[in-house]
Amino acid sequence: MLNKYNIKQYIFIISLFLFGIIYSLPNIYNDIPSIKICLLKNKNFNIKVFNNINKIIRKNNLIYIKIYLYNKSMEIIFNNIQNQLNAYKIIKNKLNKNNSIISINNNFLSSIPKWLLFIKAKPIMLGLDLKGGVYFLIQINNNYFLKKLKEKNIEDIKKIINIKNIFFIKNEKLNNFNYKIFFKNLSYRDKVFSFLKNQKNNNIIINYKIINNNGIRIYLDNNELEKIKNSIIENSINVLRNRVNQMGITNAIVQKRNSNNIIVELPGTQNIKKAKDILGSTSTIEFHLINEDNFNNKKNNFLLIDKEIIIDGTYIINANYNKNEYNKPQVNVFLNNKGNKIFSNFTKKHIGKNVVTLLVSYINNKKNIKNKFSVIKKIEVLNIAKIKTQIKNSFSIIGFKNLQEAKKLTLLLKSGKLNTPINIIKEEIIEPLIGRKNIMKGIKAFFISIIICIIFMILYYKIFGVIAVIALFLNILLMISLFSLLPNFTLTMSGIVGIILTLAIAINYNIIINERIKEEIKKILSIQKIIYFGYKGALYSILDSSIINIITTVILYIFGSREMQGFAITTFIGIITSILTSVFITKIIINFLYKNKKIKKLSI
């Protein structure tokens, strides 16, 4: 029998509606704006500080809903973002003179019911243009990496021959790995050249060429330079992304802008100081052997250490922090297999010797005459320890001023080591109110397009138009629920444009179907045959256009910018849900209404 459907198809429609409604629900719950205030050195809140803040609130007539007081912090809840921002500025200015306050931050609390969270229902993550937040443009110092690579290469050469045999070193270009080394005679030059030609440099292809005056030219070709730059920026992106994840920001965007810059967007984040402190940090740890003669001479007021690094942050796979038995903060470090092997062998051979733990940071100095940043290496001694036994894959580091310092280093170590220093060259706070205005613009455009479509479909296609509208609402519910469930998806204004476009596509599909049914009516067929052949004829046209649209969105996603990718994702999902609702769901509903053969006329 034509258009025959069983109870399973109707259950499927009801299930789709329920799925769409339930997993779209979290989007109707707004985040609750709040201000969180913490005390310095993790101290407990006392009544004096609480009364001082309360006095500021009353004196300035700040509007709030509730105040929650905890052991180590207090939180003020507001009814809207405007009141939150006003209170934040006033309280921060008043408390700046009070040294007991360490931080005052804008926060957002979730108001989603627990039962929705239990079934993993969550709202759509909004981008910076819709939610507000912090924007960073980060510069990667490729030249510093190349400089260090060159220095290491020279050190390797010095190990081959006595340093006195190298009488001149000259850089051809300051910005690239390209220099010459000259030797006293041909014998030394040929010996070094033969060794270098057979040497491997951690997958980096270094070119060596014999030149006049007993020299060797050492350089990287353009392809290798590009490969190194890509490797550096990939490392930086991974480390920054790990840092963002450690900060608990789930919908952040970390992506390459060009070979020297990375864009970081933190939607919903208003604490720019904390974000900048974590993302811009270049801190890591290094372990060096101490010169024992210098260390044992009490007259010396400096520490002489071995230049060679035993291990650094590269070999650390995990870290955590706590307080030791002396109530002092410490960081517990866990090494990977390679680091474990290196450190284990080293400590076994050097039992009784002293090792220093250094906290190393790279600070970008002000721009020089050539408008470039110079890098200053800052070194701080965390602790000195005597090797008493062989140390394997884990150990603890002490010497931190407070628990916050240990916590920060733990986060940085867990995120991975940067291959080269970075510098935040641009920072911008996008106010939440700006994002709210963009959302309202998007919603306004969305509802205007929906209302126009509904009026047109019902007036022109009658009952079939009503069915198309029902399918349209189901389509919207499915899109919203899928966007909410999609991992790492962030909705931006370009994504909203994609949603509006797919609604037009869905309406177009229904128009194609309805017009084909009108054509079948002219053939004076039975009701069931009209519906069957109308949908069958329309299906091929819909699939043809849909395949072309899907191919276009895939190409946009692969080759387009981030904005184009957001547009492509929403359009792709919208096309799939439009085919499902406009073609299959409407046919099931129409068949349910017109399965009675006594009906002689279709309301279309």
Q: Per residue in 473-529, pLDDT tens?
A: 999 999 999 999 988 788 888 898 899 899 889 999 999 998 998 888 888 777 888
Q: Is residue 531 part of a domain?
A: yes
Give φ, ψ of 596 to 5 degrees. Answer: -75, 115
Q: Which residues contact 543 (CB under 8 A, 6 or more apart)?
A: 579
Q: Is residue 93 part of a domain?
A: yes
Beta strand 125-126 pairing with 490-491: parallel
Give φ, ψ of 324 to 5 degrees. Answer: -85, -170
The CATH number given to whatever domain includes residue 91 is: 3.30.70.1510
The CATH number given to whatever domain includes residue 155 is: 3.30.1360
Q: Is residue 125 part of a domain?
A: no
Determine contact, residues 123/29, Cβ cutoff 8 Å.
Answer: yes
Nearest 5°: CA angle at 490, between 486 and 491?
Answer: 105
Q: Is residue 119 part of a domain?
A: no
- Domain residues for the domain of 59 are 32-109
Determine contact, residues 239/278, Cβ cutoff 8 Å.
Answer: no
Nearest 5°: CA angle at 566, between 563 and 567?
Answer: 90
Its sign, for the CA torsion 97, 99, 101, 103, is: positive
Work out how many domains the chain is built from and give that number: 4
Q: Is residue 252 part of a domain?
A: no
Nearest to 108 by CA among 244, 276, 250: 250
Which amino acid does the sequence have at 267? P
Considering the domain architecture, whether residues 36 and 22 belong to the same structural domain is answered as: no
The CATH number given to whatever domain includes residue 287 is: 3.30.1360.200
Q: Is residue 136 part of a domain?
A: no
Considering the domain architecture, whether residues 404 and 544 belong to the same structural domain is answered as: no
pTM, to two decimals: 0.73
Determine contact, residues 528/164, Cβ cutoff 8 Å.
Answer: no
Considering the domain architecture, whether residues 509 and 393 belong to the same structural domain is answered as: no
Q: Which residues contact 96 (CB under 8 A, 6 or more apart)?
A: none
Considering the domain architecture, whether residues 557 and 473 belong to the same structural domain is answered as: yes
Q: Which of these three, 49, 84, 109, is where a domain ends?
A: 109
Residue with tokens 């609604």: 503
| Helix (H) or strand (E) segment spanning residue 32 | strand 32-39
Nearest to 213 by CA among 182, 239, 237: 182
How much is the pLDDT for 371?
53
Structure tokens at 150: 């060159």
Considering the domain architecture, whether residues 480 and 526 belong to the same structural domain is answered as: yes
Determine contact, residues 143/260, Cβ cutoff 8 Å.
Answer: no
Considering the domain architecture, whether residues 537 and 550 belong to the same structural domain is answered as: yes
Q: Per residue in 416-462, pLDDT tens?
A: 888 888 888 888 887 766 767 777 887 888 888 888 888 988 998 88
d(CA 547, CA 576): 10
| Helix (H) or strand (E) segment spanning residue 454 | helix 432-485
Q: Which residues contact 350 (CB under 8 A, 6 or more apart)?
A: 289, 387
Which amino acid does the sequence have at 523? K
d(CA 197, CA 209): 9
Strand pairing partners for 428?
135
Which amino acid does the sequence have at 604? I
Q: Which of these three, 400, 429, 458, is where a domain ends?
A: 429
How much is the pLDDT for 369?
47
Considering the domain architecture, whether residues 149 and 43 belong to the same structural domain is answered as: no
Q: Is residue 384 part of a domain?
A: yes
How much is the pLDDT for 163?
53
How much is the pLDDT for 474?
92
How much is the pLDDT for 370?
53
3-state SS string over 264-285?
A: EEEECCCCHHHHHHHHCCCCEE
d(CA 22, CA 41): 44
- Which of the residues in the chain have pLDDT under 50? 99-100, 174, 369
Determine contact, residues 351/436, Cβ cutoff 8 Å.
Answer: no
